[in-house]
Amino acid sequence: DVKVTQSSRYLVKRTGEKVFLECVQDMDHENMFWYRQDPGLGLRLIYFSYDVKMKEKGDIPEGYSVSREKKERFSLILESASTNQTSMYLCASSSSGTGGETQYFGPGTRLLVL
Amino acid sequence: AQSVTQLDSQVPVFEEAPVELRCNYSSSVSVYLFWYVQYPNQGLQLLLKYLSGSTLVKSINGFEAEFNKSQTSFHLRKPSVHISDTAEYFCAVRLPPGTYKYIFGTGTRLKVLA
């Protein structure tokens, strides 16, 4: 069974803290994604990576950075957390191909920044 | 620019009644179309997708969606819903090869009532 895991289901952090969200997939997928999910806004792409050490900005990259040192692991970093980054964060992965590939999602990390 | 519109943010329906969740997209090029479902406290999972060929696609749990190119729609239907179908449903599009980006709608929360 395919699996995408995220390091935490719930996190509470203080404003200004550096926050690491980890995502691991076991499907040998080339592509990995970080989304932010907010009520009424759906999923918004923060960053994606199509290969190790390769990354591209999504629609809302400000305040975030990412790291992909190994194929199976994609990390999202909040350099200095702010209250407007309180949200649900979803990681996903997919194989490369003609574009019809399914995205596989992790269970999400609900982050609260106080 | 491409976009996905899900006009209904919430749809309440009684058990065993039919349901239609609407999705419209705007794109000047061909796209691939997806419906994902998110059950409470879980990540998203693929429900069905249209890549090419027959415009009517079906899922294993009784949902179906029809691609209508002239109306740029991909509405999701089920003739008889169950309590277990209560979830949030997201429509998404992906551009043909050359891009990695998926564009998600804002989601429709389906509430099935006993």
CATH of the domain at B92: 2.60.40.10
Phi, psi of B93 (to 5 degrees): -125, 155
The mean predicted confidence, pLDDT, of chain B is: 91
How much is the pLDDT for A89? 97
Residue B100 has pLDDT above 80, yes or no: no
What residue ranges of chain A have pLDDT lower than 70?
1, 99
Residue B99, pLDDT > 80, answer no
- Nearest chain B CA: its distance from A82 CA (Å): 24
Do B20 and B75 form a contact (C-beta atoms < 8 A)?
Answer: yes
Q: Do B51 and A100 touch (CB under 8 A)?
A: yes
Percentages (nearest 5) of helix, strand, coil residues in chain A: 5, 55, 40
Domain boundaries, chain A: 4-96+104-113
Residue B79, pLDDT above cutoff 90:
yes
pLDDT confidence of residue A91: 97
Residues B38-61, mean pLDDT to the nearest whole number: 91
How high is the pLDDT of residue B3? 86
Cross-chain residue pair A103–B105, CB shorter than 8 Å: no
At A83 the three-state DSSP class reads helix
* CB-closest option in A56, A103, A108 to B102: A103
Residue with tokens 């019809």: A100
- Closest CB from B6, B36, B96 relative to A99: B96
**Helix (H) or strand (E) run with residue B26 in it:** strand B24-26
Contact state of A42 with B90 under an 8 Å Cβ cutoff: yes
Sorting pLDDT into bands at 50, 70 and 90, what band is B51? confident
pLDDT of residue B21: 97
Q: Residue B96: what pLDDT?
A: 66
The whole-number pLDDT of residue B33 equals 92
CA distances (Å), origin A81, targets A8, A14, A22, A33, A48: 16, 7, 16, 20, 20
Chain A: residue nearest B47 by CA? A102
Q: Which domain holds residue B74?
A: 3-113
pLDDT of residue B97: 59
pLDDT at B98: 62
What pLDDT, on the 0 to 100 scale, is given for residue B45?
A: 94
Residue B41 binned pLDDT confidence (cut-offs 50, 70, 90): confident
Asked if A102's CB is within 8 angstroms of B46's CB, the reply is: yes
- What is the pLDDT averaged over residues B78-95? 94
Measure CB to CB from residue B106 to each of A35, A40, A99 and give the nearest one: A40
**The pLDDT value given to residue B60:** 86
B16 min Cα distance to partner chain A (Å): 27
The Cα B63–Cα B81 span in angstroms is 9
Which of the given ranges, A18-27, A39-48, B23-32, B101-110, has the highest pLDDT on average?
A: A18-27
How many domains, chain B? 1
CATH of A4-96+104-113, one of 1.10.10.10, 3.40.50.970, 2.50.20.10, 2.60.40.10: 2.60.40.10
pLDDT for the residue numbered A27:
92
